[in-house]
């Protein structure tokens, strides 16, 4: 049963008389006379009158939605009526603070995209305070809205319906089912269609704007703060600064479950020393990288943000767009190309352009199909060569046992900046239970200095008890040697076992340093009484598979949106993971910050 929302303050006890337009809609939709409508309102009005000013899950039947979608717009109404959650001015410096909002009420037609009810026409009502010139809308309020620097201040909490563009709202429940903005919009429009004329279709931009705004509202609710956005401009521009501010808060210790602990990542053990056996608690964390990234500047070691993910250079190095894209050449570009007039350089660009055409790709596939039977007869040496990253499958190898044409001499690869460049990888720190503690973008490589900086940012010195007892990593032998060399006494309090899989498969038995310092079997506290490992040191491999599935979604994103999406997805993953741990009786908890600050 729908609830009636009006902006008129009550002047007496009981329910007010029905507004004329609502009376007309009910009479037309239900096929009743005005007298019957008034009689029903007198009997049932107390049941329909809302006890709060926020939209409610009122269980509207789809048939009623269809009727209201047809009849309500005729009387400047909708299937839902959205209005501000307050009927009084809440501005602290307003002379009319606490008084009813009675001035300059305006109604607008809008569109609501819902999860279970499809696309609905709605009426949006704004209220106004003359005392401070503040407009109150369903999601936010803004003072002096016409001023260039006007700011939207969002109400506390997360609304059920979120405005994504002007006069278009998305149901919060719908946001829980969105992964790819474009796919979500297409599936939604095909599934629900448009119920009434005058409503718009859901677009990819609407889905992403709704996702970002919803996540920002959740973030500010967590910190008991107010979300403020510029009132003017496009929605994506309006959100940019707030998204970047949230990204900065997530760096290092910003994940909500950074201080996570549970029975799967903390263990009570008996530690044997020369003085005897002592009992204590140990914890662990696992580090690994996953090959997923965002577009970046072509200049080596440059981390400046691109203006657009379609750019090849950042604003500082934008002048290089006019320099030949062959690495080492400093001649200017000519003829509207990305290379100079040197024939060899121009041919490299033209070859690259041909590779982008569909016909080139189809011919390559046909040639590959003809070679398939021959490839099956390759020796192990030839097969390994085909797996080499430097092998170009468009050129025959310099030596091969495959029968066919004589191989041509292979030319050295030419390095270019013709195409865009992406960051190297995302580095993750994950608890053995699967909770992601922190994430960091590595621009160039998984270098040892980068890894040290990342670990120190996640477990800083001013939280000495946050540092895990053990850090599992596939390259711990070199990382440990680096930490010893730079004398990082903070991180050297940890043990550095190589994760079990890589210790067996990737580390040489005759590597004395690795076997002495990083062989997991050299840490007896990592084994239980049945000689089983007490921590899941392969958890990152499992997380990497999950993170890798976001590659098609984030590959063309800007740096700000890339970071925001991954952080939000990891936060959601952690919440779901903690719920599973709770159901399994693993006692998930957040260690108090005061405890983590205690000296060791």
Least-confidence region, from 175-189, 233-247, 445-459, 507-521:
175-189
103-113 and 168-171 strand pairing: parallel
Residues 6+ positions from 467 with CB-CB distance below 8 Å? 459, 490, 491, 493, 494
Pairwise CA distance, residues 60 & 3, whole Å: 10
By the 10 Å C-beta count (0-12 exposed, 13-18 middle, 19+ buried), 495 is classed as buried
Write out the H or E segment, with its range, that includes residue 125: strand 119-129
Pairwise CA distance, residues 443 & 307, whole Å: 17
Look at residue 92 and tell me whether its pLDDT is greater than 60.
yes
Mean pLDDT score, 522-528: 86
Look at residue 391 and tell me whether its pLDDT is greater than 90.
no
Residues 6+ positions from 128 with CB-CB distance below 8 Å? 101, 103, 104, 105, 106, 134, 135, 136
Percent of the residues in the chain that have a pLDDT greater than 70, as a whole number: 73
Which pLDDT score, from 0 to 100, does residue 204 have? 78
Pairwise CA distance, residues 43 & 57, whole Å: 22
Mean pLDDT score, 376-404: 38
Three-state DSSP class for residue 127: strand
Q: Which residue has better confidence, 347 or 80?
A: 347
> Would you place residue 198 in the very low, low, confident or very high pLDDT band (cuts 50, 70, 90)?
low
Q: Which residue has better confidence, 494 or 70?
A: 494
Which pLDDT score, from 0 to 100, does residue 206 have? 83
pTM greater than 0.85: no
DSSP summary character for residue 226: -
Q: Which residue has better confidence, 36 or 135?
A: 135
């Amino acid at each position: 049963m729908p609830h009636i929302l009006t902006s008129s303050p009550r002047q007496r006890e009981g329910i007010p008389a029905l507004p004329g337009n609502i009376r007309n809609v009910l009479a037309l939709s239900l096929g009743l006379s005005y007298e019957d409508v008034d009689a029903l309102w007198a009997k049932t009005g107390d049941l329909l009158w809302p006890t709060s000013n926020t939209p409610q899950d009122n269980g509207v039947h789809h048939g009623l939605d269809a009727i209201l979608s047809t009849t309500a717009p005729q009387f400047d109404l909708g299937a839902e009526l959205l209005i501000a959650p307050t009927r009084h001015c809440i501005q602290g410096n307003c002379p009319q603070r606490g008084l009813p909002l009675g001035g300059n009420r305006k109604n607008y037609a809008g569109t609501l995209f819902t999860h279970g009810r499809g696309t609905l026409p709605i009426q949006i009502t704004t209220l106004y305070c003359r005392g401070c010139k503040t407009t109150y809308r369903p999601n936010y309020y803004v003072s002096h809205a016409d001023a260039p620097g006007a700011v939207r201040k969002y109400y506390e909490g997360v609304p059920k319906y979120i405005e994504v563009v002007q006069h278009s709202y998305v149901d919060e429940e719908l946001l829980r089912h969105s992964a790819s903005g474009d796919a979500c919009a297409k599936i939604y429009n095909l599934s629900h269609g448009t119920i009434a004329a005058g409503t718009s279709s859901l677009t990819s931009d609407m889905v992403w704007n709704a996702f970002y705004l919803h996540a920002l509202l959740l973030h500010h609710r967590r910190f008991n703060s107010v979300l403020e956005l510029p009132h003017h401009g496009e929605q994506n521009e309006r959100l940019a600064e707030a998204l970047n501010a949230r990204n900065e808060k997530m760096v290092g210790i910003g994940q909500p479950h950074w201080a996570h602990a549970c029975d799967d990542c903390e263990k009570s053990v008996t530690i044997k020393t020369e003085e005897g056996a002592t009992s204590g608690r140990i914890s662990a964390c696992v580090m690994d990288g996953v090959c997923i990234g965002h577009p970046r500047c072509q200049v080596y070691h440059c981390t400046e943000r691109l203006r657009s993910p379609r750019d090849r250079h950042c604003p500082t190095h934008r002048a290089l767009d006019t320099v030949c894209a062959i690495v080492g050449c400093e001649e200017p570009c000519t003829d509207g190309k990305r290379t100079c007039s040197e024939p060899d350089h121009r041919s490299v660009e033209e070859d690259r352009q041909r590779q982008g055409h569909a016909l080139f790709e189809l011919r390559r596939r046909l040639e590959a199909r003809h070679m398939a039977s021959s490839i099956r007869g390759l020796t192990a040496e030839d097969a390994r060569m085909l797996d080499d990253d430097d092998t170009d499958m468009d050129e025959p190898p310099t030596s091969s046992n495959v029968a066919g044409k004589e191989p041509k001499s292979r030319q050295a690869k030419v390095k270019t900046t013709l195409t865009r460049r992406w960051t190297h990888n995302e580095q993750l720190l994950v608890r053995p239970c699967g909770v992601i503690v922190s994430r960091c973008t590595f621009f160039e490589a998984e270098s040892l200095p980068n890894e040290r900086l990342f670990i120190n940012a996640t477990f800083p010195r001013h939280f000495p008890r946050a540092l895990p007892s053990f850090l599992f990593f596939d390259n711990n032998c070199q990382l440990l040697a680096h930490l010893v060399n730079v004398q990082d006494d903070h991180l050297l309090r940890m043990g550095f076992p190589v994760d079990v899989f890589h210790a067996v498969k990737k580390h040489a038995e005759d590597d004395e340093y690795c076997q002495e310092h990083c062989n997991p079997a050299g840490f007896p506290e990592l084994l239980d009484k049945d000689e089983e490992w007490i921590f899941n040191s392969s958890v990152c491999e499992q997380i990497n598979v999950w993170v890798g599935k976001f590659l098609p979604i984030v590959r063309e994103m800007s740096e700000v949106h890339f970071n925001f999406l991954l952080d939000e997805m990891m936060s959601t993953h952690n919440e779901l993971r903690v719920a599973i741990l709770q159901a399994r009786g693993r006692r998930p908890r957040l260690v108090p910050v005061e405890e983590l600050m205690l000296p060791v």
